[in-house]
Amino acid sequence: ETGVTQTPRHLVMGMTNKKSLKCEQHLGHNAMYWYKQSAKKPLELMFVYSLEERVENNSVPSRFSPECPNSSHLFLHLHTLQPEDSALYLCASSHRTGASYEQYFGPGTRLTVT
Amino acid sequence: GEDVEQSLFLSVREGDSSVINCTYTDSSSTYLYWYKQEPGAGLQLLTYIFSNMDMKQDQRLTVLLNKKDKHLSLRIADTQTGDSAIYFCAESILRNAGNMLTFGGGTRLMVKP
């Protein structure tokens, strides 16, 4: 247990569905991250929130919409996804953004788009 | 470009040493990291090294950094079956939000009894 939880752990959705992934951290951290891990590419940073403000949007398609209502919760809203969006989506948190601050990862949500 | 490269696969026998190698591209990286991912789990930080160091040892783990060649390695002494996992190298890249991590593709370590 790293103190970062993600729900659901597995999700299957059609291309016309709308769903949301949830991440919660119990570590008192101020920065939260979404990563995408797919079989064919290295781990990709998608979004970074620092003190609930989005500070990094790494050229992610608009069908992915993040939301950070407070420093403990992070959501990834999904709509009209494509099959190539099937991947493991990992959430992480750290005390602050910056290389010296360790990122703690959740177990991920395995997403399959049919 | 921001490429961190690792070999895909390594197989060793239990009790042997494992050496996982990584090359990175950004000479301004301040920290370099090794993460471990076990099946069905997220990434766990194993160790990191500051760029002005050549070596760091932490129990069974030894990290070697060659800044001139931009080469990083992780040595696991007395490798155990529980060390079987995917190991990711990562470098820190300066972005708008500060230093962010860029990961390699991961090396799958298989430890045979």
Calpha distance B18→B78 (Å, rounded): 8
Residue for token digits 């103190």?
A3
Set of chain A residues whose Cβ sits within 8 Å of the Cβ of B31: 99-100
Please report the pLDDT score of residue B14 as a whole number. Answer: 97
Inform me whether the pLDDT recorded for A111 exceeds 80: yes
Q: Least CB-CB distance to B42: which of A41, A56, A105?
A: A105
The length of chain A, given as a count of residues: 114
pLDDT tens digits, B14-43: 999 999 999 998 777 778 999 999 988 889
Of the candidates A27, A46, A53, which has an alpha carbon nearest to the alpha carbon of residue A89? A46
Set of chain B residues whose Cβ sits within 8 Å of the Cβ of A90: 42-43
Using an 8 Å Cβ cutoff, are A32 and A56 in contact? Answer: no
Is A107 within 8 Å of B42 when comparing Cβ atoms?
A: yes
| Chain A contact present for B41, CB below 8 A | yes
Q: What is the average per-residue pLDDT within A91-114?
A: 86
Q: Report residue B79 as tokens.
A: 């490798």
DSSP chain A: --SEEEE-SEEEE-TT-EEEEEEEE-S--SEEEEEEE-TTS--EEEEEEETTEEEEE-S--TTEEEEEEETTEEEEEEES--GGG-EEEEEEEESSSSTTSPPEE---EEEEE-
Best of A21, A43, A57, A60 to disrupt the B interface (most B CBs within 10 Å) is: A43
Q: Which residue has the higher pLDDT, B93 or B58?
A: B58
Q: Report residue B2 as tokens.
A: 């921001």
Is A97 within 8 Å of B98 when comparing Cβ atoms?
A: yes
Using an 8 Å Cβ cutoff, are A74 and A64 in contact? Answer: no
DSSP for residue A73 = E
Please report the pLDDT score of residue B95 as a whole number. Answer: 65
Is A108 within 8 Å of B99 when comparing Cβ atoms?
A: no
Count contacts between A and B (CB, < 8 Å): 62
pLDDT tens digits, A41-99: 888 989 999 888 887 777 899 999 999 999 999 999 999 999 999 999 999 998 877 66
Of the candidates B101, B110, B113, which has an alpha carbon nearest to the alpha carbon of residue B20? B110
Cβ neighbours of B16 (radius 10 Å): 13
Cβ neighbours of B9 (radius 10 Å): 11
A90 to chain B: nearest residue by CA? B42
Give the CA count within 13 Å in the CB-facing half-sphere of A19: 17
B105 to chain A: nearest residue by CA? A42
pLDDT tens digits, B48-87: 998 889 999 999 999 999 999 999 999 999 999 999 999 9
